[in-house]
Structure 1
Amino acid sequence: MKTFRLAVGAALVATSLTAWSQTGEPASAPGASAMTASGSAAPATGRKANRALRRQVYNAIVKHKEISAGNISVVAKDGAVTLNGTVTDASQVGTVAEIAKGVPGVTSVTNKLTVEKPFGGM
Protein backbone atom coordinates (compact mmCIF):
# COMPACT_ATOMS: atom_id res chain seq x y z
CA MET A 1 0.00 0.00 0.00
CA LYS A 2 2.86 2.43 0.81
CA THR A 3 4.46 1.73 -2.54
CA PHE A 4 1.19 2.42 -4.32
CA ARG A 5 0.73 5.77 -2.50
CA LEU A 6 4.32 6.71 -3.27
CA ALA A 7 3.85 5.89 -6.96
CA VAL A 8 0.59 7.90 -7.17
CA GLY A 9 2.20 10.83 -5.35
CA ALA A 10 5.20 10.80 -7.69
CA ALA A 11 2.88 10.68 -10.71
CA LEU A 12 0.90 13.65 -9.40
CA VAL A 13 4.06 15.67 -8.77
CA ALA A 14 5.41 14.86 -12.23
CA THR A 15 2.10 15.82 -13.87
CA SER A 16 1.78 19.09 -11.96
CA LEU A 17 5.37 20.10 -12.77
CA THR A 18 4.79 19.43 -16.46
CA ALA A 19 1.57 21.44 -16.46
CA TRP A 20 3.15 24.24 -14.45
CA SER A 21 6.12 24.63 -16.79
CA GLN A 22 3.91 25.16 -19.85
CA THR A 23 3.44 28.80 -20.89
CA GLY A 24 -0.15 28.44 -21.97
CA GLU A 25 0.61 29.89 -25.39
CA PRO A 26 -0.42 27.82 -28.40
CA ALA A 27 2.31 26.37 -30.55
CA SER A 28 3.18 28.66 -33.43
CA ALA A 29 5.30 28.76 -36.51
CA PRO A 30 9.01 29.47 -36.21
CA GLY A 31 9.63 33.20 -36.28
CA ALA A 32 6.30 33.96 -34.64
CA SER A 33 8.08 34.33 -31.33
CA ALA A 34 10.35 36.95 -32.93
CA MET A 35 7.30 38.92 -34.01
CA THR A 36 5.83 38.65 -30.54
CA ALA A 37 9.07 39.84 -28.99
CA SER A 38 9.37 42.79 -31.35
CA GLY A 39 5.70 43.64 -30.87
CA SER A 40 6.16 43.82 -27.13
CA ALA A 41 9.21 46.06 -27.53
CA ALA A 42 7.26 48.75 -29.41
CA PRO A 43 5.23 49.97 -26.41
CA ALA A 44 8.42 50.28 -24.36
CA THR A 45 9.84 52.56 -27.03
CA GLY A 46 6.63 54.64 -26.92
CA ARG A 47 6.83 54.95 -23.15
CA LYS A 48 10.47 55.94 -23.42
CA ALA A 49 9.63 58.63 -25.98
CA ASN A 50 6.77 59.89 -23.79
CA ARG A 51 9.05 60.14 -20.76
CA ALA A 52 11.68 61.99 -22.80
CA LEU A 53 9.10 64.47 -24.13
CA ARG A 54 7.72 65.00 -20.63
CA ARG A 55 11.21 65.80 -19.34
CA GLN A 56 11.85 68.19 -22.25
CA VAL A 57 8.63 70.10 -21.57
CA TYR A 58 9.28 70.25 -17.83
CA ASN A 59 12.86 71.44 -18.40
CA ALA A 60 11.60 74.17 -20.73
CA ILE A 61 9.19 75.35 -18.01
CA VAL A 62 11.90 75.27 -15.33
CA LYS A 63 14.10 77.60 -17.40
CA HIS A 64 11.58 80.39 -16.76
CA LYS A 65 12.49 81.50 -13.25
CA GLU A 66 9.27 83.49 -12.76
CA ILE A 67 7.25 80.25 -12.92
CA SER A 68 7.17 77.91 -9.93
CA ALA A 69 7.37 74.61 -11.77
CA GLY A 70 7.31 72.56 -8.59
CA ASN A 71 3.50 72.55 -8.59
CA ILE A 72 3.17 71.65 -12.27
CA SER A 73 2.97 68.11 -13.59
CA VAL A 74 3.46 67.22 -17.24
CA VAL A 75 1.95 64.16 -18.89
CA ALA A 76 2.99 63.31 -22.45
CA LYS A 77 1.52 60.69 -24.73
CA ASP A 78 2.41 60.47 -28.41
CA GLY A 79 3.08 64.21 -28.65
CA ALA A 80 -0.04 65.25 -26.75
CA VAL A 81 0.89 67.06 -23.53
CA THR A 82 -1.38 67.66 -20.53
CA LEU A 83 -0.43 70.23 -17.91
CA ASN A 84 -1.83 69.83 -14.39
CA GLY A 85 -1.25 71.72 -11.17
CA THR A 86 -1.15 75.31 -9.98
CA VAL A 87 0.68 78.53 -10.80
CA THR A 88 0.99 81.65 -8.66
CA ASP A 89 -0.41 84.14 -11.18
CA ALA A 90 -3.21 83.96 -13.76
CA SER A 91 -0.91 85.20 -16.53
CA GLN A 92 1.31 82.16 -16.02
CA VAL A 93 -1.43 79.74 -17.09
CA GLY A 94 -1.14 80.81 -20.73
CA THR A 95 2.61 81.31 -20.54
CA VAL A 96 3.23 77.72 -19.43
CA ALA A 97 1.01 76.42 -22.25
CA GLU A 98 2.95 78.49 -24.81
CA ILE A 99 6.25 77.20 -23.44
CA ALA A 100 4.99 73.62 -23.79
CA LYS A 101 3.78 74.25 -27.37
CA GLY A 102 7.26 75.48 -28.27
CA VAL A 103 8.98 72.19 -27.38
CA PRO A 104 9.84 70.09 -30.45
CA GLY A 105 7.67 66.97 -30.62
CA VAL A 106 4.65 68.50 -28.90
CA THR A 107 1.60 68.20 -31.15
CA SER A 108 -1.07 69.48 -28.75
CA VAL A 109 -1.37 70.92 -25.24
CA THR A 110 -4.25 70.42 -22.83
CA ASN A 111 -3.94 73.05 -20.13
CA LYS A 112 -5.54 72.11 -16.79
CA LEU A 113 -3.52 74.59 -14.73
CA THR A 114 -5.25 76.67 -12.08
CA VAL A 115 -4.19 79.70 -10.09
CA GLU A 116 -2.98 78.90 -6.59
CA LYS A 117 -5.08 80.56 -3.92
CA PRO A 118 -3.08 82.63 -1.42
CA PHE A 119 -2.97 81.49 2.20
CA GLY A 120 -6.20 82.42 3.92
CA GLY A 121 -7.79 83.30 0.57
CA MET A 122 -11.03 81.95 -0.70
Structure 2
Amino acid sequence: MRHRLLSEFPTLVLDYDAVDDLLHARWGPAQTLASTQAGYEQILTVLPAQHCHRLLDDRRQSHLMWDELATWMATDWCPRAHAAGLLRHAVVFAEDFFGHLATELVLARVDGYGQLMGFSSEAAARHMLLAS
Protein backbone atom coordinates (compact mmCIF):
# COMPACT_ATOMS: atom_id res chain seq x y z
CA MET A 1 0.00 0.00 0.00
CA ARG A 2 1.58 3.27 -1.14
CA HIS A 3 -0.53 5.79 0.81
CA ARG A 4 -1.79 5.39 4.35
CA LEU A 5 -4.53 7.84 5.31
CA LEU A 6 -3.73 9.31 8.73
CA SER A 7 -6.56 11.83 9.11
CA GLU A 8 -9.26 13.40 7.00
CA PHE A 9 -11.10 16.62 7.80
CA PRO A 10 -12.57 19.36 5.57
CA THR A 11 -9.65 21.61 6.46
CA LEU A 12 -6.80 19.08 6.14
CA VAL A 13 -6.17 15.59 4.80
CA LEU A 14 -2.95 13.90 5.94
CA ASP A 15 -1.52 10.77 4.44
CA TYR A 16 1.82 9.03 4.60
CA ASP A 17 3.44 7.96 1.32
CA ALA A 18 5.33 4.83 2.34
CA VAL A 19 7.13 4.41 -0.99
CA ASP A 20 8.58 7.93 -1.07
CA ASP A 21 8.70 8.25 2.74
CA LEU A 22 6.95 11.60 2.96
CA LEU A 23 4.00 13.14 4.72
CA HIS A 24 1.46 14.64 2.31
CA ALA A 25 -0.74 17.44 3.69
CA ARG A 26 -3.62 18.59 1.50
CA TRP A 27 -5.33 21.73 2.77
CA GLY A 28 -8.99 22.47 2.05
CA PRO A 29 -10.33 25.90 1.08
CA ALA A 30 -12.25 26.56 4.31
CA GLN A 31 -9.44 27.77 6.57
CA THR A 32 -9.25 30.03 9.58
CA LEU A 33 -6.12 31.06 11.40
CA ALA A 34 -7.04 28.66 14.22
CA SER A 35 -7.77 25.70 11.91
CA THR A 36 -4.52 26.23 10.02
CA GLN A 37 -2.48 26.40 13.21
CA ALA A 38 -4.26 23.29 14.53
CA GLY A 39 -3.47 21.49 11.27
CA TYR A 40 0.21 22.34 11.50
CA GLU A 41 0.23 21.19 15.14
CA GLN A 42 -1.22 17.89 13.95
CA ILE A 43 1.52 17.63 11.31
CA LEU A 44 4.07 18.23 14.05
CA THR A 45 2.79 15.25 16.03
CA VAL A 46 2.61 12.96 12.98
CA LEU A 47 6.14 13.61 11.64
CA PRO A 48 8.07 11.94 14.47
CA ALA A 49 5.42 9.23 14.89
CA GLN A 50 6.01 8.22 11.24
CA HIS A 51 9.79 8.77 11.53
CA CYS A 52 9.36 11.06 8.53
CA HIS A 53 11.66 13.93 7.55
CA ARG A 54 9.87 15.24 4.44
CA LEU A 55 6.63 17.21 4.12
CA LEU A 56 4.72 17.80 0.90
CA ASP A 57 2.54 20.75 1.94
CA ASP A 58 -0.16 21.14 -0.73
CA ARG A 59 -1.88 24.52 -0.33
CA ARG A 60 -3.42 24.72 -3.83
CA GLN A 61 -6.98 25.02 -2.52
CA SER A 62 -6.13 27.38 0.33
CA HIS A 63 -7.59 30.90 0.37
CA LEU A 64 -5.95 32.42 3.42
CA MET A 65 -3.94 35.55 4.07
CA TRP A 66 -2.87 36.25 7.63
CA ASP A 67 0.28 38.03 8.61
CA GLU A 68 -0.01 36.36 12.03
CA LEU A 69 0.21 32.93 10.39
CA ALA A 70 3.40 33.84 8.52
CA THR A 71 4.98 35.13 11.73
CA TRP A 72 3.84 32.08 13.72
CA MET A 73 5.15 29.68 11.06
CA ALA A 74 8.54 31.40 10.88
CA THR A 75 9.15 31.99 14.58
CA ASP A 76 7.26 29.14 16.25
CA TRP A 77 6.27 26.20 14.08
CA CYS A 78 9.26 25.88 11.73
CA PRO A 79 11.85 25.81 14.54
CA ARG A 80 9.82 23.14 16.37
CA ALA A 81 9.33 21.12 13.17
CA HIS A 82 13.06 21.24 12.49
CA ALA A 83 13.77 20.11 16.06
CA ALA A 84 11.29 17.24 15.51
CA GLY A 85 13.29 16.07 12.49
CA LEU A 86 11.76 17.85 9.49
CA LEU A 87 14.57 18.30 6.96
CA ARG A 88 12.72 19.06 3.71
CA HIS A 89 9.49 21.01 3.39
CA ALA A 90 8.04 21.61 -0.08
CA VAL A 91 5.00 23.86 -0.36
CA VAL A 92 2.76 23.81 -3.42
CA PHE A 93 1.53 27.38 -3.82
CA ALA A 94 -2.17 28.17 -3.56
CA GLU A 95 -3.93 28.95 -6.82
CA ASP A 96 -5.64 31.83 -5.00
CA PHE A 97 -3.66 35.10 -5.05
CA PHE A 98 -3.91 35.72 -1.29
CA GLY A 99 -3.10 32.13 -0.42
CA HIS A 100 -0.04 32.29 -2.66
CA LEU A 101 1.01 35.57 -1.05
CA ALA A 102 0.67 34.09 2.45
CA THR A 103 3.07 31.29 1.53
CA GLU A 104 5.51 33.79 0.02
CA LEU A 105 5.47 35.67 3.35
CA VAL A 106 6.36 32.50 5.25
CA LEU A 107 9.16 31.65 2.81
CA ALA A 108 10.59 35.16 3.17
CA ARG A 109 10.60 34.94 6.98
CA VAL A 110 11.91 31.41 7.48
CA ASP A 111 15.65 30.97 7.45
CA GLY A 112 17.90 28.16 8.56
CA TYR A 113 15.35 25.41 9.28
CA GLY A 114 16.15 22.80 6.68
CA GLN A 115 15.02 23.11 3.11
CA LEU A 116 11.75 25.03 2.76
CA MET A 117 10.82 25.90 -0.80
CA GLY A 118 7.70 26.87 -2.73
CA PHE A 119 6.58 25.34 -6.03
CA SER A 120 3.84 25.88 -8.59
CA SER A 121 3.23 22.15 -9.10
CA GLU A 122 3.05 19.04 -6.97
CA ALA A 123 5.44 17.24 -9.33
CA ALA A 124 8.15 19.88 -8.85
CA ALA A 125 7.65 19.88 -5.08
CA ARG A 126 7.84 16.09 -4.92
CA HIS A 127 10.99 16.13 -7.08
CA MET A 128 12.73 18.47 -4.60
CA LEU A 129 11.74 16.28 -1.67
CA LEU A 130 13.12 13.16 -3.30
CA ALA A 131 16.36 14.69 -4.58
CA SER A 132 19.38 13.64 -2.57
Which has the larger Rg?
1
TM norm structure 1: 0.33
User: Which one has a larger percent strand, Structure 1 or Structure 2?
Assistant: 2
Higher relative contact order (CA 8 A, sep 6+): 2
User: Which one has a larger percent helix, Structure 1 or Structure 2?
Assistant: 1
